[in-house]
Amino acid sequence: MPQSSFGRRSFLQAAAAGMALYPAGVHAFGNARSAPRRVALIGCGWYGKCDLLRLLQVEDVEVVALCDVDSQMLNAARDIVAERQVSGAKPEGFGDYQELLKQTSPDLVLVNTPDHWHALPTIAAIESGADVWCQKPIGVDVIEGEAMLAAARKHQRVVQIGTQRRSTPHLISAKEKFIDNGRLGDIAYSEVYCYYHMRAKGNPPDIAPPEHLDYERWIGPAPHRPYDQWIHPRSWRAYMEYGNGIVGDMCIHMLDMVRWMLGLGWAKRVSSTGGILVDTESKSNISDTQTALFEFDDVNVAWTHRTWGSSPDPAYPWGATIYGSKGTLRLSVNSYDFQPLDGSAPEHGDVVMELDQYPVDRDEPDLERHVAPAIRGHMRDWLTAVDQRSRPIADIEQGHISTTACILANLSMELGRTLAYDPQTRTIPGDEEATARLRRPYRDGYRHPDPADHA
């Protein structure tokens, strides 16, 4: 990611303008503290930088350290942060997150690695005394999530998960206008879906990793695959070894949003079917077609994705539809539409991207501009929870519940049967095979985290 041409002076002017939008007591740039919070980022790729730079927009933190196994990516990120933070200081760079935690003792740690590297750095950061931001999904197996949750509770750390639909302004408005006040009526069913053609296609050859990438450390605890151009930096989700497929990437956002909007807890049962049904020639081993059913008390949520064909509704290629006895509510990162059944006028709302308040967003490479306000809101919520020692809106437990549902969907598809997870026993009662699959083997040299270690 190249260094932005938008200099620190312009960035600070934009941030100061944005500060006027928030009332006293709400975190914004320039919030008075005896000393800035010390921040570290583990994983300096696309979304690592997106998240960290939004944090810099809402509070005058001091980014003291960055970690990445790609030295080029790490050094580029250090330059960007030096340009954007108030002090102008360049953060220290590390290739080992354990050394970062040991040497810099950050107050806040952002974990923005690929999925297979979420659990170990998050737990280590918690144990170091830091409060943590961890991207979704929280891990690649269920027991990782149980250990992360146990560690957060034992050490009383505030852990926010990057399911920022809970902090998306127009979705908060839709929840308040149509669900909280009963205008949608009784709700028993919702659909969540993604029809983006986002599964990698083709067969890139195995090649030697670039010299600036420590590939063995990149793989870490996950199964080894020969390196190819998909793996780093942006297409690793093509492989189940390093992620959770499209369910773990896209379903988790919309499922978590519906859970938040409707106040849903653990799914009682999860079932799923699908596989690689169309693009059978590609090297990618994630499904190109999948449906899943998440059964909650009195509400069923159904998921569909296809990486081929067209979307049934071009305005909502990735989103959720909640059906009520008084109307239908469609929701996405870009908009909402409410269609009442009583004949009254439909209502529409759009994302507000805040580009006038934060003009640096206009020029930042690869930034999802429509998501930036949600990330800023999510950061403010996290910082407030850190100050109050309270649970953030996307607390680690909520992230664990949504992540587990998605992992169970993939497992159900593989095993061909419905699964019912018991979080009290951390088993799938009556199904020893499925229970064993809740904990994925780690490579030699890495120890799988155990929730019993944090009891």
**Residues 259 and 347 both lie in one domain:** yes
**Residues 368 and 272 both lie in one domain:** no
Q: Is the pLDDT of residue 189 over 90?
A: yes
Structure tokens at 454: 């944090």
DSSP 304-355: EEESSS--SSTT-SEEEEEEETTEEEEE-SSEEEEEESSSPPPEEEE----T
Cβ-contact 290, 304 below 8 angstroms? yes
Q: Is residue 130 part of a domain?
A: yes
**Per-residue pLDDT tens for 39-72?**
999 999 999 999 999 999 999 999 999 999 999 9
Cβ-contact 70, 213 below 8 angstroms? yes
Q: Is residue 27 part of a domain?
A: yes
Q: Is residue 225 part of a domain?
A: no
**Residues 341 and 437 both lie in one domain:** yes
Q: Is residue 208 part of a domain?
A: no
- CA 118 from chain centre, in angstroms, equals 11
Q: Exposed/middle/buried for 25, CB within 10 Å: 0-12, 13-18, 19+?
A: exposed
Cβ-contact 70, 233 below 8 angstroms? yes
Record the pTM: 0.93
**Residues 384 and 315 both lie in one domain:** no
**Residues 430 and 304 both lie in one domain:** yes
Is the C-alpha dihedral spanning 149, 93, 56, 136 positive or negative? negative
Q: Is residue 422 part of a domain?
A: yes
Question: Into how many domains does the chain fold?
Answer: 2
- The more confident residue out of 25 and 93 is 93
**Per-residue pLDDT tens for 256-312?**
999 999 999 999 999 999 999 999 999 999 999 999 999 999 999 999 999 999 999
User: What is the residue range of 279's domain?
Assistant: 169-201+234-353+400-454
CATH number of residue 153's parent domain: 3.40.50.720
State the Cα angle at 77 between 72 and 82, rounded to 5°.
130
**Residues 339 and 425 both lie in one domain:** yes
In the prediction, which pLDDT does 33 show?
Answer: 75
**Residues 35 and 184 both lie in one domain:** no
Q: Is residue 327 part of a domain?
A: yes
Q: Is residue 229 part of a domain?
A: no
**Residues 313 and 436 both lie in one domain:** yes
Q: Is residue 207 part of a domain?
A: no
